[in-house]
Amino acid sequence: MADARMTKIAADDVEPNRRRGGDLRTLLSPSTAGATSGFMGVLTLEPGEVVTEHYHPYSEEFLYLVEGDITARIDGEPVELTTGDALHLHINVKHRLENTGGSVARLVFQLGPLAPRPELGHVDTEPLPGTEQGDS
């Protein structure tokens, strides 16, 4: 639902992006909501799933762990997160998310400001496990 004042989007109506691992759904963005300063969405990680290491050359990232326990690897160093924890990642900081627990993990993420073009927003530093670098 969109009008001149707001946009409402259901997570179930957005196709998952699994390119870096997990079930990542960008809900509010320039393309879905006409956002001009950033984007936000949700991430679901099953036990053993990861979001591969990457960084954002233009954006800060904000993560909130709604449910579960994960290990965030920040420039390779582990940071344990549990339900209710929030994490702020500065521009150009490499990060990887791992669900090392026994239950599903659910996160909300927000990034801003936007990169000049969408393809410049993420820099991958490792391939998805089981794939070759560059496969999509």
Q: In the chain, what are the domain boundaries?
A: 11-124
pLDDT of amino acid 127: 85
pLDDT of amino acid 94: 98
User: Which CATH number does 11-124 carry?
Assistant: 2.60.120.10
Helix ranges restricted to H, the chain: 30-33
pTM above 0.85, yes or no: yes
Please determine, for residue 134, whether its predicted confidence score (pLDDT) is greater than 80: no
Tell which wins on pLDDT, 67 or 129.
67
Vertex 17, ends 12 and 20: CA angle to 5°? 145
Backbone angles phi, psi at 33, to 5 degrees: -135, 0
Q: Which of 53-67, 107-121, 122-136 has the lowest mean pLDDT?
A: 122-136
Q: What is the mean pLDDT of the chain?
A: 93
Report which residue type is found at 101. G
- CA torsion angle for 59, 64, 70, 72 (degrees, to 10)? 20
